[in-house]
Structure 1
């Protein structure tokens, strides 16, 4: 067992006996929740650090989110969820892949009944990317009816599409074999040879490009830059997301969201599921 594995498992020792009960309860809750009609799917809604909500995945779906983010760490051959380190009681399979397979099977091969879209599962790899790559390939390949694949560069869309970020962001991978994920790109830094087939989503930190944080009108030059960035990426077939935008329930957050909508940004990033749901239902 690796050093990080021993350290993280020792941290969990105090609650280790309770973990099976918690996981069982969560599994029961997910099975029950899948029988409840889902709300209207919101094509721009992305749940940042989704696994930190009381019910990972399920809370986001209950608010109509069509994109969720899972931070993963490779420890002893498995992928554990967590932001600052792996949580030994939460894996990508137990909290995302298995529940999504149940949901899709129960709801007519769709995450939302009657919805023709594909849920984005943004997998932010926090540990060593090259080591995690083959593990992600193997795990996602075990869900062929669920996961979108790329076979010799040609996409076969399924109810869930994985996009890799973090230490596996901004990559152009060979199209010689079957691939079970696309990659998250970086604005202004896309690698040579990048296409939307390889990199379906392009994301970046808002403050890397803009100083305006929603207080007062957006400066005209920054608004023009935002519209120009989005238009150029859309022309290449990419979808666009900015993270680290204001996310407290204040007028500044809504001001930024309104500018993102006006520029036709594809993905709005939030920790506040109810807040973004209400905003999009009223404005989008």
Structure 2
């Protein structure tokens, strides 16, 4: 009887240990699950997050934004000049991690996901910064979409220049590794989609609605008209300084806005799921 009790106790202990191990393995597998990919999610001022690029990727974002300054030949990432640090370069925070990830994922940022957008907001001199940027991106030819004349070679990441834009210099460059982020004043521009793939503008300067209650009929009609014009030219549309909360995300998403601007990565990711 004593031996039987010992055997039962041992069996129970083995079962408990095995169950605990199985649960831990399941938890580990859950932790390694790929995120739900969100083609419409855009990480505004992405570099301000604890882990630039990586936090956005962990939430399934397909578009991120980085502000850059040209300083002594280096492209450094920061919102304001007094925040610049040599170790926070565009290369270290974005280009190298993207190259590594694309190599790991057989040519894509997200496995089996759509294309990825790197929106680069130039804060320093438009022309010299662009030329340095284009040269740098050329060192990552396997990562970034390349344009030679009117020939477009699509890659995993499309780079788009915003902020200070030297449009004529950009369009004259060949090969070119960036497109131009247009404004609402460019709605009727004759530029091709690979030259100006995106139209972005300030929400509050163009709409009265601030995310309280339902959007007005006038603003809804204006938004619909803008989206129709943008899509007719095979471009995408984005607004910054939107009311950064679910009612605005829902309104813009349902209207057909292509990139929803947010500083709240996890919240928008959960909302879009």
TM range (shorter): 0.7 to 0.9
Name the CA shift for 1:74/1:172 in 2 (closer, same or farther; >3 Å). closer
1:201-240 per-residue CA deviation (whole Å, 9 max, x = no partner) reads 1000001110111112211111111111111111111100
2:115 is matched with: 118
Is 1:167 aligned to residue 164 of structure 2?
yes
Shift of 1:173: 4.0
Does the 8 Å CA contact 1:171/1:185 hold for their aligned counterparts?
A: no
Q: Match of 2:185, SS?
A: coil
CA-atom RMSD in angstroms = 1.8
1:224 is matched with: 221
1:244 is matched with: 241
2:14 is matched with: none
Consecutive unaligned residues in structure 1, runs of 5 or more: 1-34, 248-252
Taking the TM superposition and a 5 Å limit, the aligned residue runs for 1:1-284 are 36-85=32-81, 86-115=84-113, 117-168=114-165, 173-174=170-171, 177-189=174-186, 192-247=189-244, 253-281=245-273
In 2, Cα distance between equivalents of 1:108 and 1:48: 27
Q: Match of 2:204, SS?
A: helix
In 2, Cα distance between equivalents of 1:124 and 1:272: 19
- Runs of 4+, deviation exceeding 3 Å: 35-38, 169-176, 189-193
In 2, Cα distance between equivalents of 1:130 and 1:52: 25
In 1, Cα distance between equivalents of 2:198 and 2:158: 11
Consecutive unaligned residues in structure 2, runs of 5 or more: 1-30
Who wins on radius of gyration, i.e. which is larger? 2
Q: What TM-score do the two structures reach when normalised by structure 1?
A: 0.81
